[in-house]
Amino acid sequence: MGLTIEKMFEWILRRPLFVILTAAAITGFFGWQLPNLSFKTSVYDLQIEDLPETARYNDFKKLFGSDEIIRVVVKCSNVFDPITFRKIELLGEAAAKIQGVRRVISLPGIKKAVDVSGNWSMETFHAVVSGAELFRKNLISIDGKTTALTLALKSGAESQHVIQRVRQMLKDAPVDLKLYQTGMPLVSEALARFTEKDFFRLPPITFLIIAIILFYLFRKLQYIFIPLICVGLALVWTFGLMAFLRIPLSMLTMIVPVFLVAVGTAYCLHIVSEYLASMKSADSPVEATRLTFAHIALPTLLAVLTTVIGLGSLLINRITAIQEFAIFSGFGMISILIIVLTFLPAVLSFMPLPAKRDDRHIDPNPFLSRFIDKIVDLNLRHQKIVLPIIGAVVLVCLIGIFRIQVETNPVGYLKEGAVVKRNFVDIYQDLSGSFPVNIAMGGQESDFFENPNNLADIARLQEFLDTLKGVDKTLSFADYLKLVNYVLNRFEPEYYRLPQEGFEVRMVLNDFKTVLGEDVFSRFMNADLSKTNIILLTHLSSSRKFLQLREKTLAFVKQNFSKDLEWEVTGLGIVIAASSRQVTIGQIESLGITMILVFGMMFILFMSSKVGLIAILPNLFPIIINFGIMGWLGIELSMVTSLIASIAIGLAVDDTIHYLVRYNREFKKDLD
């Protein structure tokens, strides 16, 4: 293997210009693809497709339709002012014409449905609405100053298009109305927008910080630009491939450039440091380069391969965005390996050696050297102090790991001042939240919900659900049956109730679709009246709280309802919550696989199980410290923060391998 590597570098150093031009050509090809790079960040990136919860959610949507909604909130001095009401009506009509909107639920729409003559005054309609619990904190606030248009989206609708059209509609709306839109599609759109902004902002900041560090270390411009150019080429290759394959950037793959800049610069640092040392005994740039890569090529190769294997362990994760992070980070690492073993030696072979070579060129930072000498002195002379301190820090952090909470909160990713986050909080102050959870309740036979007792069970469950923290409003088929009964009995207050006899139920059912339409019926009840849907309008966004809501609901129905009933608590929030839990399991598995592979690599390299075990310790140390601090500070383990372990391993493995290879070489010389 050594002979093969040696021959490869001999070939490169005889044809450096050809190697540089070839790297430039490859970079040109990938760079040509970059304009095709796109961004697509969605909360759907955070779900695992093959989970049982995902399958149940998809089945639910096939039966009852999509639960994706956008709510347009309208604030004014009085919703029932005739002029204001007409403005709200025009907004509803405009929203209904937007492509992708299945139905608009609004107060003007309700008036049109129940006021058959069309002659009601606002006072009459206000009195009718005030008598119906269904509308309170759903379509109208208690003080009558806030209302909402609920835009139910079609299955597969392009939510981005709907958001843009609504945004334009609000811009053209009367200035005396305070308007905003909110809902999960808005959170998803905000994440996409911020992801794109961060993608163009973070890598330059990272490059700048690293450039400052390199200048402090080497004080030579060439040793600043060469590492950054190598990393820059790898970034072009990686994102050029993404563009070529038409794979858009997501919230997780956005981390790739920062990861590659950090790890790639570390590799280049090792090489530049070795090159500076080799210059002392070399007679020419080619000789200095040959000496450098004779020492550095093998550990660099091993470091990259180990990091790629560690990233490959993430492929067992079932979230597509994490798999894409693993694939393109791995490709980026291989790109860096190719570049530093071909392009970099070719460039270094052209670098003139300094006319005067002394210690100042090798050690431009005496302060840093003195600091490192102190570290070495601690390692060699004060182990009885250092090791217990390190052990105590590890123990404290291990305790912190047990305090860490698994959490994925799409709204929590947004800054406090973000407009979308403010609107998310604002809406449930006057109305109800815009993140729905669905409870499917099923009987054993057809026409199960023609039975008044079974309808009463829906209302009984709602009484419990309304007490749960985070649930602002529950909507069900029973609520709409009350409304139809109310309409059919001329809005007499005593008739805003469920029908109490079987024949009454059948009468109300016969008129349900005439009064409210087929869409409302199918949203809450299947065709044979055997399965119904209860919608919980919540202001929850925490995966942990979604799971707590599901557990409390299922525990209640198990204890208080017939064993023959079938229940399912579902929704996008439940799916993301279940996926978040699986991320933790997948991360533990991938870390375990990585540690085994690191041990195997070190064992093969040194033929020593002792060295293999020693190599694992510095790779585990940053992970334990990181997650321990997260646990003590209350920072949740999410789908994004879970990737920190992979980045930490990528950096730690590199340093471990370089250290052990150098140790092995020095030990053979000194045997001490």
Spatial strand order of the sheet with 566-570 comes to 471-475, 531-538, 435-442, 566-570
Name the token pair of 13.
Answer: 């150093």
Structural domain contains residue 391: no
The pLDDT, as a whole number, for residue 646 is 67
Q: What is the DSSP letter of 641?
A: G
For CA atoms 171, 473, 637, 403, the dihedral sign is positive
Go through 203-223 and write b for each residue having 16 or more CB atoms within 10 A of its CB, e for each that does not: beebbeebbeebeebbebeeb
Structural domain contains residue 162: yes
Domain boundary among 155, 188, 221: 188
Residue 546 sits in a domain whose CATH number is: 3.30.70
Residue 105 sits in a domain whose CATH number is: 3.30.70.1320
The pLDDT, as a whole number, for residue 236 is 95
pLDDT tens digits along 32-79? 999 998 877 777 767 777 788 888 998 998 899 888 889 999 999 999
Domain that holds residue 518: 419-570
pLDDT tens digits along 287-321? 989 988 888 888 888 888 878 877 877 777 777 77
The pLDDT, as a whole number, for residue 630 is 87
Residue 461 contacts residue 439 (beta carbons within 8 Å):
yes
Of 133, 86, 124, residue with least CA distance to 106: 86
Spatial strand order of the sheet with 101-105 comes to 101-105, 146-153, 69-75, 178-182
Q: What is the pTM of this model?
A: 0.78
Residue 499 contacts residue 485 (beta carbons within 8 Å):
yes
Of 314, 313, 310, 307, residue with least CA distance to 333: 307
Give the SS3 label for residue 639: coil
The pLDDT, as a whole number, for residue 17 is 93
Residue 446's φ and ψ, nearest 5 degrees, are: -65, 155
Domain boundary among 188, 205, 236: 188
pLDDT tens digits along 612-626? 787 778 878 888 888
Residues 6+ apart with CB under 8 A from 206: 257, 258, 261, 262
Go through 292-311 and write b for each residue having 16 or more CB atoms within 10 A of its CB, e for each that does not: bbebbbbbbbbbbbbbbbbb
Judged by phi (left if over 0) then psi (alpha if -120 to 50, else beta), residue 184 lies in alpha
Structural domain contains residue 554: yes
Structural domain contains residue 177: yes
Give the SS3 label for residue 74: strand
Q: What is the distance between the alpha carbons of residues 78 and 88, in angstroms, rounded to a whole number?
A: 11
The pLDDT, as a whole number, for residue 357 is 53
Q: Token match 């095709």: residue?
A: 36
The pLDDT, as a whole number, for residue 361 is 47
Structural domain contains residue 656: no
Q: What is the distance between the alpha carbons of residues 166 and 168, in angstroms, rounded to a whole number?
A: 5
Of 311, 314, 410, 321, residue with least CA distance to 48: 321
Q: What is the distance between the alpha carbons of residues 605 and 154, in angstroms, rounded to a whole number?
A: 58
Distances, alpha carbon 363 to alpha carbons 273, 357, 370, 568, 655, in Å: 10, 11, 11, 67, 20
Domain boundary among 159, 188, 217: 188
Structural domain contains residue 23: no
The pLDDT, as a whole number, for residue 356 is 58
The pLDDT, as a whole number, for residue 586 is 67
> How long a stretch of residues is the chain?
672
Residues 6+ apart with CB under 8 A from 304: 267, 333, 334, 336, 337
Q: How many domains does the chain have?
A: 2
Residue 162 contacts residue 70 (beta carbons within 8 Å):
yes
Q: What is the distance between the alpha carbons of residues 105 and 149, in angstroms, rounded to a whole number?
A: 6
The pLDDT, as a whole number, for residue 654 is 76
Residues 6+ apart with CB under 8 A from 203: 235, 257, 258, 261
Q: What is the distance between the alpha carbons of residues 530 and 453, in angstroms, rounded to a whole number?
A: 14
Q: How crowded is the C-beta side of 82, counted as CA atoms within 13 Å?
A: 6
Structural domain contains residue 479: yes
Which parts of the chain have pLDDT scores under 50?
A: 1-2, 359-361
Q: Kindly give the pairing relationship between strand 435-442 and strand 101-105.
A: unpaired
For CA atoms 11, 15, 16, 21, the dihedral sign is negative
Structural domain contains residue 578: no
Distances, alpha carbon 339 to alpha carbons 299, 412, 614, in Å: 15, 39, 30
Q: What is the distance between the alpha carbons of residues 476 and 462, in angstroms, rounded to a whole number?
A: 8
